[in-house]
Chain A
Amino acid sequence: MFGVWSVCVSLVLILWGTSEKVQGKASKLWLQPLNETFLQTGVFPSGFLWGVGTVAFPTEGSWDADGKGESVWDRFTRHTDPSSDSYIQWEEDLESVRYLGVNFYSFSLSWTRIFPDGNVKAHPNPAGVQHYRRLIGKLKELQVEPVVTLFHWDLPQVLQERFGGWLNQSTADVFADYTAFCFRTFGAEVRYWITMHNPFLLAIQGYGTGAHGPGVTGDPADPFIAAHNLLRAHAKAWHLYDKHFRRHQRGNVSITLGSHWVEPLHGQAMPTNLELCQKAMEAVIGWFAEPIYGSGDYPESLKASHRGVIPEFSAQERLWIKGTTDFFSLAFGRETLRVGQGLARFGQTVKLDLRSVLVWVQQTYSDPQLLLAESGWFTDASVGVQDTKAIYLMKRFIMQVMQAVSVDGVRVFGYTAWTLLDGFEWNHGYSIRRGLFYIDFSKPERRRLLKTSAHFYRRLVRDNGFPAENTPHIEGRFPCDFQFGVSESVLQVHLRPFSPQFTDPQLYRWNLSGDGALSPVMGILLHTRPVQCTDFLFIQRHLFLLGVTGSAHYRFALDWTQLSPGGDPEKVRFYRCVLMELQRRGIRPVVTLYHPSYRSPSLGLPEALHADGGWRNASAVEAFVSYAAFCFHKFGDFVSTWITVNEPNRLTEAYTEDRNLLLAHVKAWRIYDERFRQKQGGAVSLAIHADWVEPADPFLESHKSAQQQFLAFEVGRFLDPLIGNEGCGNGFSNAERVEFKGALDFIALNHFTTRLVAPWENAKPQKPEHGCALMTDVTWPASHLRQALVPWGLRRMLGWVRDRYGDRLPIIVTATGVDDQAVHDDQLRQSYIRSYLQEALKARELDGVNLRGFYIWKLQDHHDLRFGLFSSAAHHSRPKASVSLYRDIISHRGFPSAADLRPLTCRDADSGTSCELCTRIAENKPLLFFSVCVSISASMLCVLVIISVVRKRRRTPINVRPQRLRVQLRFPMMKVAQGSYAIKP
């Protein structure tokens, strides 16, 4: 099976050869974090081995049946009940393994089931030997490879009592004899042997803290002695196999080592921190890995910090221990992380980062073949068969392995899901669950019940990873009338900076030759020019940014608190100026009347309304309607698209608010419809916050209905009364229903991200009203504010809206964007814009969604909330990299094929249709210009020729006196103009 890897291997080695020279082992891993990858889909190399594991002690039960002896864990826990009853129900276990469809089954042999008192010289217990023979035989029958761990912590109690267990050197010899027996007895059928599982935990917990069996505590040297003997025992077993069994059995032998992962505190990769991180790794995995995979001796840092207590290997021993494995077997689980966090973090931060561990092992131990022998988390005992969170933890671990394999080139050849069954989890007993199959420990029959994580793992194994479900990238353009826009929140009234021009009517005398002073000429007043929009300096600066993005559509909100009938006319003028300037630049505005935001303490409402209870009070509706009519009247000439309220569904906490917000929209819409539409011809809508949700557990009907419930609440409660079908009660009267019906000209959606949704497990809380619990998929790439990047969520959202409301009304995505901390190179946002627009195109082209626009949220950063295409004014409004990306997409109007990359020019639809001649002229502009030039110069030439001919004929002298006179007359006037007068600007 290693053959499959050879191509991969050589590739990796070539890559590696170049970078290996960097000094200091692996420390560069913390200096240069792994490539941030958005890799979400991908399959593992063919031949990748999927497996599932169990351990004898937590699952077998029957602790003294059929002549089994007592192990240190039997004594330590005094646990006598049947656990998962696997000794009896092993066939059920294999049925579960078969269901999962895995390639291998990893289990451990119970030493005391084979040699009850550990005495290998005695006869083995036939029942025990028979049990494992049957198990292995049946696995072979099912074509599932057995991966056998010889020792998973359940040392015979007799050995503990007689020799002191692993504190005694002779235990290693007894262990070697035991392994020899196992190799001889079962080896013909076994390809993968693990001598022992996670000796780090056994040494520390069993002989140090006493949290594990045998529970020895006291002497700080004990863990190191135990570890020393464990390492010897492993080496003996490997040499035995290598010498006597390998030739016939052709198996591979390794030892499973546990690891945690540490990162520099606060992400500060200073040399001291890096050293401490390296030290932390060496104190846990390095303790056992360095003798076997590295120098043959303990890591220097460990020896230095434990001088006197850590035993020494002789030079001969070092050579003998070094290289005693055939592949690297790694465990990454909670227990090692916990112990590592407690004992070996050196002030740094412990992280749940499997990918980094894999890369660290790759870099530190010369790129070994690697089996992930244990990986997984746990659930609380109360969690039943619906273990949704476990799904996402497993998904995350496996995705990290995938990234390590495909991005970093780590040679992982197998993954073990941990574990098959709930069991008696060592010192935690029944308080945690780790299985893919659930067991009710209060019932004697111990039935295995499928958890949803088992469904998930089964599908994953079948798919060999995460094949792309999404439709591949499509090529195509958005039509010319598609609105590529930028969206802003409230555009504050900026009366300052204000630079009035030509407002001084005085005439001044400028004494240039004297003291250079300007003095007004009394009695003379000039006409000044009327006030101009250019006086508001803010507008030009602001709209300049918009021009840089190349988008011809701009959405912003008016500040309700500043605008009211009878209010300051200067503020009205400011917004009119904005709109006029937009028109001048050919940018179409989408204007929001009311954009609530936490930026304003009254949530964007005029103070008086806010004080009266805001939207809970019906008077807000009337106030809004008169404000809306005022705005339609004042600004309607320039605005063809209105949004009444932005995200009313985010604002409301109570039903009355919902109702009043909806009423406000409807009444405003009616007023527009009756009084303004005919003249202004615009469209009015309200923008709904429409993030997509996926059922958290895709295998459960209850989660699918939670999804529908959530969407109906979030989107439906506003759109249903307006454009939905009948049957949306919502407590409205019949008259209201009629009034609401159809009060919407297009569907405006603000879409940012996708979440997971699940029903509440227990009683529903009062808040939130949608009655669902939200979750997040930790494998989705996410922004600094944990906003997940899920492009296909947009397409599904659009599809859902289309399915629910038909395609009568066009849809516009009125805000969409992501925060990105990067000052300039905003990779995340670039990826967001590209991928979300791509999904928008798919929705249009493949699903037939009537999508008309896409507005990026937002133009400019506001302090440290970094959603902007430009940095904040305080940071000099610098464009980020996504600006040019967006500009590029706009100029190509989407994603044209490589063969058709020329920018597509769209003529303005309105003027283009008016006359055919105009379009002809416009098309042939250069030609026309050229011909006009030619004809003019030709006629000029003609005239010149005629004139010169005429002059030659006359040949009469010309009187020059009048010319001279003219020069003399002009001179004093010039002198006056230069010397005395100037108009003060």
Chain B
Amino acid sequence: MKPDGSVTGSPVKKRNCVLNLRSVKAGETVIQSEATSLFLCVDDEDNLKGQLHYSEGDCTFQELLLEDGYSSFLSPHSKLPVSLLSKQSGQKRSAPCSRFLPVMNTQLAGKEEDIQIQDVKHYIKDINLDSDDPLGIGHQSHIQTVFSPSLHTKK
């Protein structure tokens, strides 16, 4: 899930890919992006999107546990399994629906260095001219952590 709310599948693990699953009722799950705090919802055309505010009718998915341990999620509108394939790709319904396997989050909790490195890269990219600290001299999170190369050995 990108910060603009668009939702796509990704072949690689990224911070954006970490979703927090919470059960709200038996078999009903609310999905929230860890990085952007956007809720995963469906719009009127049954497309997946991220939105800031939770609404029960759009953002509660029914979770079906499959025999092999994977699960699929049913859209709150159409009750059809949701798919991560892009709807524009023309494969609309013929595409196999996505199956999901909830896994331990190895992207955020144990991987502080990734966040740090990303923060740093973010600072390199853009300068905030409205800040009295446009160059990131102090008080940013990535500076507050004492970074040690010997601990942060990337996997």
Contacts and interface: CB of A to CB of B under 8 A. Distances in A.
Interface string A685-727: 0000101000010000000000000000010000000000000
B154 interface: yes
Interface string A375-387: 0011110010000
A597 B111 CA distance: 10
A786 interface: yes
B153 A862 contact: yes
A597 B147 contact: no
B138 A776 contact: yes
A785 B148 contact: no
A379 B139 CA distance: 14
Interface in B84-110: 106, 110
A599 B138 contact: no
A269 interface: no
Given A352-B135, A389-B137, A393-B137, A774 B144 contact: yes
Interface in B124-155: 125-127, 129-130, 132-139, 142-155
Q: Is the interface of B mostly helix, strand, loop or mixed?
A: loop
B111 A785 contact: no
B150 A392 contact: no
Contact of B138 (A432, A597, A774, A819): A774
Interface string A424-465: 000000001000000000000000000000000000000000
Contacts, number: 129
A857 B149 contact: yes
Contacts of B146: 650, 689, 691, 714, 755, 768, 774
Contacts of A844: none
B137 A341 contact: no
A786 B123 CA distance: 10
Contact of B143 (A598, A776, A862): A776
A599 B149 contact: no
Nearest to B135: A778
A817 interface: yes
Interface stretch (B21-29, B34-42, B49-57, B112-120): B112-120
Nearest to A381: B132
Given A598-B155, A691-B146, A768-B144, A776 B132 contact: no
Contacts of B132: 377-380, 383, 389-390, 432
Contacts of A396: 135
A646 interface: yes
Contacts of B139: 773, 775
B154 A863 contact: yes
Contact of B106 (A487, A595, A601): A601
B150 A489 contact: yes
A334 interface: yes
Interface in A845-872: 857-858, 862-865, 867
B151 A598 contact: yes
A262 to B, nearest CB: 11
A601 B150 contact: no
Interface in A108-148: none
Contacts of A379: 132
A601 B110 contact: yes
Contacts of A864: 154
Contacts of A57: none
Contacts of B106: 601
A596 B150 CA distance: 8
A754 to B, nearest CB: 12
Given A341-B129, A350-B127, A598-B113, A650 B151 contact: yes
Given A352-B135, A599-B154, A601-B110, A752 B149 contact: yes
B13 to A, nearest CB: 14
B25 to A, nearest CB: 31
A474 to B, nearest CB: 28
A74 interface: no
A517 to B, nearest CB: 48
A598 B138 contact: no
B143 A597 contact: no
A758 B138 CA distance: 9
A857 B150 contact: yes
Contacts of B123: 786
A196 interface: no
Chain A residues touching B, range: 35 or more
A646 B150 contact: yes
B113 A775 contact: no
A337 interface: yes
A432 to B, nearest CB: 7
A647 interface: yes
B112 A787 contact: no
A487 B148 CA distance: 14
B150 A598 contact: no
Given A598-B110, A775-B143, A776-B138, A752 B148 contact: yes
Contacts of A351: 127
Contacts of B145: 768
Given A768-B144, A775-B138, A776-B137, A595 B150 contact: yes
B148 A774 contact: no
B76 to A, nearest CB: 35
A184 interface: no
Contact of A597 (B126, B136, B151): B151
A726 B111 CA distance: 39
A9 interface: no
Given A489-B150, A597-B153, A776-B143, A392 B129 contact: no
Nearest to B113: A598
Given A599-B154, A775-B143, A756 B138 contact: yes
A337 B123 CA distance: 17
A633 interface: no
A764 interface: no
A337 B151 contact: no
A71 B32 CA distance: 55
Interface in A340-354: 341, 349-352
B103 to A, nearest CB: 12
A651 interface: yes
Nearest to A765: B144
A815 interface: yes
A750 B154 contact: no
A338 interface: yes
A113 B28 CA distance: 74
A691 B154 CA distance: 20
B151 A651 contact: yes
A399 to B, nearest CB: 12
A388 interface: yes
Contacts of B142: 786
Contacts of A817: 149
Contact of A388 (B117, B138, B143, B150): B138
A864 B154 CA distance: 8
Given A380-B132, A689-B146, A647 B151 contact: yes
B153 A750 contact: no
B150 A750 contact: yes
A599 B135 contact: no
A867 B111 CA distance: 18
Nearest to A602: B110
Given A647-B150, A689-B151, 14 more contacts: A383-B132, A596-B151, A597-B151, A598-B153, A598-B155, A691-B148, A696-B138, A750-B148, A774-B143, A785-B149, A786-B120, A786-B123, A862-B153, A865-B149
Counting from the closest, the 10 A-B pairs by CB-CB distance are: A775-B138, A597-B153, A599-B153, A865-B154, A778-B135, A650-B151, A379-B132, A650-B148, A338-B129, A392-B137
Interface of A: 334, 337-338, 341, 349-352, 377-380, 383, 388-390, 392-393, 396, 432, 487, 489, 595-599, 601, 646-647, 650-651, 689, 691, 696, 714, 750, 752, 755-756, 758, 768, 773-778, 785-787, 815, 817, 819, 857-858, 862-865, 867
21 contacts: A338-B130, A350-B127, A377-B132, A383-B132, A388-B138, A389-B132, A392-B137, A487-B150, A595-B150, A598-B152, A598-B155, A601-B106, A650-B148, A689-B151, A774-B138, A774-B143, A775-B143, A785-B117, A786-B142, A787-B147, A819-B149
